[in-house]
Amino acid sequence: MVPEKTIAERTLAAPARTKSLRSAEKEKLLEAAVHKHGAATPRGFLERLFTLSFRGFVYPQIWEDPEVDLEAMKIGPESRVMTIASGGCNVMNYLTETPARVTAIDLNPAHVALTRLKLAAAKYLPDYESFFLFFGHADEKRNIENYDRYIAPHLDAFSRKYWEGRSLLDGRRINYFTKNLYQFGLLGRFLGVVHILAKIYGKDPREILTAKSREEQKEIFDRTLGPLFDKSFVKFLCNMPVSLYGLGIPPSQFDELMKSANGDMAGLLKARLERLACDFPIEENYFAWQAFGRGYDRERRKAVPRYLTPKNYEKIKEAADCVEVHHTSITTFLQSQPVESFDCYVFLDAQDWMNTQQLQELWSEVLRTASPGARVIFRTAGEESPLTKKLTPGLLDRWSYDPTQSEKAVAKDRSSIYGGFHVYTLTTPGEEKAGSKPAKSRPKKAA
């Protein structure tokens, strides 16, 4: 049983550790993940430019489809889940399956504060409508009243200081929720620039939200957004690593994208945007609504993440106490955990940022802390899993992996950003899971 404690009480130890991290220490966490080259080199300059942009608020919403995650993880009431927090949406979505425990990790203090805010809001706002107003609308003055009355008294000191701290142009950061949260952060502002660029060429990304069928979605895309990628200036921007920093793509991940694109980055981005715009019913795809409408479907409430649906509100409200949020790196956190601590691991696309040594250290800790049959899921910008070439056989042989599952999972992912979705399952020595292949026997390219 999870003891009855407030969000502030449950996270008291975690914020204490966070508060002990001085600014220089926080920066080192991110620098260790991104910096691979000397500051005086062209690549080193790009890496440092990325970390500078990534230190603030980046993701108001996570861009990994929780339906694909949940199908792969098979979360049950006994599941202990470790995930990267990012915008916190995945944490909230996983709670709808009532796991025993969710531990969220993030290098970015803004994401730590946002995830804790969502948990406190779920637990202490008076009803579903006030909760949907806060995160479904995210642009109402009443959100500030509800924050001050219901949420702030229960927030831990670290998160409260963040939201009540001041940004340069908007006063208290909590004011983001009166001006559409989803237009803020590095990603939100990036999407705003994309909309401005489209309008310069006489196109309106919002038009696709009016489509009544998949055929109409395709027709609108081919007439409006698709042709933009044939423009010389757009092609030029697509080939610049800094242009994709707003998507949270560091230089190393940009390289993987470029490999998948065979040098045609504009073509690859067009293909993935077309998948987002055309491969799923627009009235249900909340990722498309965020990209093209910069918000959720407030009227019908079909294009919303599962944690914002009425049927799941009570579930997440009751399960909020099973979550802990930590500001640290994945490997550092796992080093502090006992053996067989977790049943599911969610690494998002973080491994695209890592070199061979970092991956080796991470997976050594994963193997030590994983329960029998534990599952690890992650995404990659390119199609290939980085583990095949970078993990030693001693580590890789313990995991079963069926590369044919990747293509099926990617096809289901409504965010349509990633080239690969990968699931690794821990086997006992000498065991091979039915329906899967040992990880070491992976072919050179996924089908």
Higher pLDDT, 69 or 430: 69
Helix (H) or strand (E) holding 421: strand 420-426
Are the C-beta atoms of residues 35 and 51 closer than 8 Å to each other?
Answer: yes
Convert 290-328 to b/e letters by CB count within 10 Å (16 or more is b).
Answer: bbbbbbbbeeeeebbbbbbbeebbebbbebbbbbbbbbb
Length of the chain equals: 447
- Residues 47, 74: contact at Cβ < 8 Å? no
pLDDT digits (tens, 9 = 90+) for 198-212: 999 999 999 999 999
Report the DSSP pairing between strands 370-380 and 342-346: parallel
Cα-to-chain-centroid distance, residue 31? 19
- Strand-strand pairing, 370-380 and 420-426: antiparallel
Is pTM beyond 0.75 here?
yes
**What's the pLDDT tens digit per position in 88-137?**
999 999 999 999 999 999 988 999 999 999 999 999 999 999 999 999 99
Question: In the predicted model, what is the mean pLDDT of residues 275-304?
Answer: 95
Q: Does the structure show a pLDDT above 90 at 444?
A: no
For residue 248, pLDDT over 70 is answered with: no
DSSP state of 378: E
Q: What pLDDT sits at residue 430? A: 59
- Give the residue, 57 or 277, on which the prediction is more confident: 277
Apex CA 350: angle with CA 346 and CA 355, to 5°? 130
Q: Are 232 and 266 in contact, with CB atoms under 8 Å apart?
A: no
- pLDDT tens per residue, range 360-369: 999 999 999 9
pLDDT tens per residue, range 224-247:
999 999 999 988 888 877 666 666
Q: Kindly tell me if the per-residue pLDDT of 33 is higher than 80.
A: no
Q: Report the chain's mean pLDDT, rounded to a whole number.
A: 84
The yes-or-no verdict on residue 4 having pLDDT over 50 is no
Under 8 Å between Cβ of 111 and 59: yes
**Gap between the Cα atoms of 30 and 108, Å rounded:** 8
| Contact criterion met (CB below 8 Å) for 343 and 79 | yes
Lowest mean pLDDT among 167-176, 216-225, 335-344: 167-176
Q: What pLDDT sits at residue 174? A: 96
Which has the higher per-residue pLDDT, 285 or 23? Answer: 285
pLDDT at 20: 37
pLDDT at position 250, please? 65
Long-range Cβ contact pairs of 35-40 (< 8 A, separation 24 or more):
36/252, 36/355
Q: Are 194 and 52 in contact, with CB atoms under 8 Å apart?
A: no
Mean pLDDT of the region 291-299: 94
Measure the CA angle with vertex 355, ends 352 and 358; round to 5°: 105
pLDDT band at 433 (very low <50, low <70, confident <90, very high): very low
Helix axes 42-54, 23-34, angle to 10 degrees: 130
